[in-house]
Amino acid sequence: MSDAYEKGLEIRKSVMGDDFVEKAFSNATSFTMPLQKLVTENCWGDVWGRDGLSKRDRSLVNLAMISVLNRQQELGGHVRGAIRNGVTVEEIREVLLQVMAYAGAPAAIDSFRTASAMLKDLGIDLDDMPAE
């Protein structure tokens, strides 16, 4: 494997968690394995591995983009990754409110649902934060 793949695998595991990455590879078929390898090498190694943004900032950007694209399954994983990268629940909320302003209420509503479910799965009490 290439250096970018190895770097990507390390970053992907640090952001998404070992279990998530291992499951992605163990569930891959001969049809989908090339995708897993490309995502690991290109997205995680070549892009996430760059020095221009921190992992935390990349998480914030991803939350917004994935919400706008309405890719809810991916959003759930990236909410978990954002928390692992030090993004706060309040910051996730602010990103999703920004999505509402610029991409529309339906995208934001779906994203709030997905984010809420993942945060609850992580044991985060969403009623224990200041409401604005």
pLDDT tens-place string over residues 45-62? 999 999 999 999 999 999
User: What integer is the mean pLDDT of 10-33?
Assistant: 96
102's CB contacts (< 8 A; 6+ apart) are: 68
Q: Pull the structure tokens for residue 97.
A: 């409110």
Query: What class does CATH assign to 53-124?
Result: mainly alpha
For the cut 90, the answer to whether the pLDDT of residue 131 exceeds it is no
Rounded CA separation 57/95 (Å): 12
Q: What is the pLDDT of residues 81-107, one digit of tens each?
A: 999 999 999 999 999 999 999 999 999
The structure's pTM equals: 0.90
Measured CA to CA in angstroms, residue 106 lies from 43, 65, 130 at distances of 27, 14, 24
Q: Which of 40, 57, 28 is nearest to 2 (CA)?
A: 40
* For the chain, domain boundaries: 1-51, 53-124
Confidence of residue 1 (pLDDT cuts 50, 70, 90): confident
